[in-house]
Amino acid sequence: MLQDTFDQRVGLKNERSMVITAIATMRVLLGIFFILSGIANYIYFRTPGGFFETVTQSKLALWGWGFQGVGPLPAFLALPYAYLLPAVEMIVGAAFVVNRWVRWAGIIMMLMLLSFILAFGLIGPGGLLPNNQGNWDKNVFMLIGAWTCAAYDHYRVKRQNRMNELG
């Protein structure tokens, strides 16, 4: 109580508003990343080494770290995945940016990120600390960010419903 009064007097935000701001920033940045990723996947869809070729011809690394992989995905899975994934990336990214259906968009985002982790491996061929290579960290941290945003949205909606019930 006394600390809150002091914080307000000196112009500091309280902890709750800082958490809300941090989650909102993470939500918007994840959304923008997914929108741009979907656009890039469509732009480079049919180029050699592009998105379509990666999805339809690459082996699934699963856990990575020297595992040679299985696959590629059968055509009945790879083709819908290749054609729909960029659009879904842009849709869930837009939902995150405009703060609508964040819970459901977050679940879809987490499933996509899990599929990326399975496709490219959790631990890359260079180990946990590769030299200037893409690795597990981006997908894992984005997965945690998507979960945080979805969980907070679920909490916010439940809290709002309880407040409405109370009057």
- Cβ atoms of 100 and 149 within 8 Å: the answer is no
Query: What is the rounded distance in angstroms from the CA atom of residue 154 to the CA atom of residue 107?
Result: 11
Which band of pLDDT confidence, cut at 50, 70 and 90, is reported for residue 51?
confident
Q: Among residues of the chain, what percentage have pLDDT more than 70?
A: 74
> Lowest-confidence range among 38-47, 122-131, 156-165?
122-131
Q: Decide: pTM greater than 0.75.
A: yes
Q: Residue 98 has which token pair?
A: 């405009």
Q: Which residues pair with 64 in a beta bridge?
A: 123
Query: What is the rounded distance in angstroms from the CA atom of residue 113 to the CA atom of residue 141?
Result: 10
The mean pLDDT of the chain is: 81
Does 34 have pLDDT greater than 80? yes
Does 159 have pLDDT greater than 70? yes
Q: Residue 71 has which token pair?
A: 């696959």
- Cβ atoms of 113 and 142 within 8 Å: the answer is yes
Task: Say which residues have a Cβ less than 8 Å from residue 16's Cβ, sequence separation at least 6.
Answer: none
pLDDT in tens, 115-137: 887 777 666 555 555 555 555 67
Taking Cα atoms as reference points, which of 124, 134, 129, 150 lies closest to residue 61?
A: 124
Cα angle: 154, vertex 85, 32; to 5 degrees: 60
Query: What is the rounded distance in angstroms from the CA atom of residue 57 to the CA atom of residue 23?
Result: 37
pLDDT in tens, 68-119: 556 667 788 888 888 999 999 999 999 999 999 999 999 999 999 988 877 7
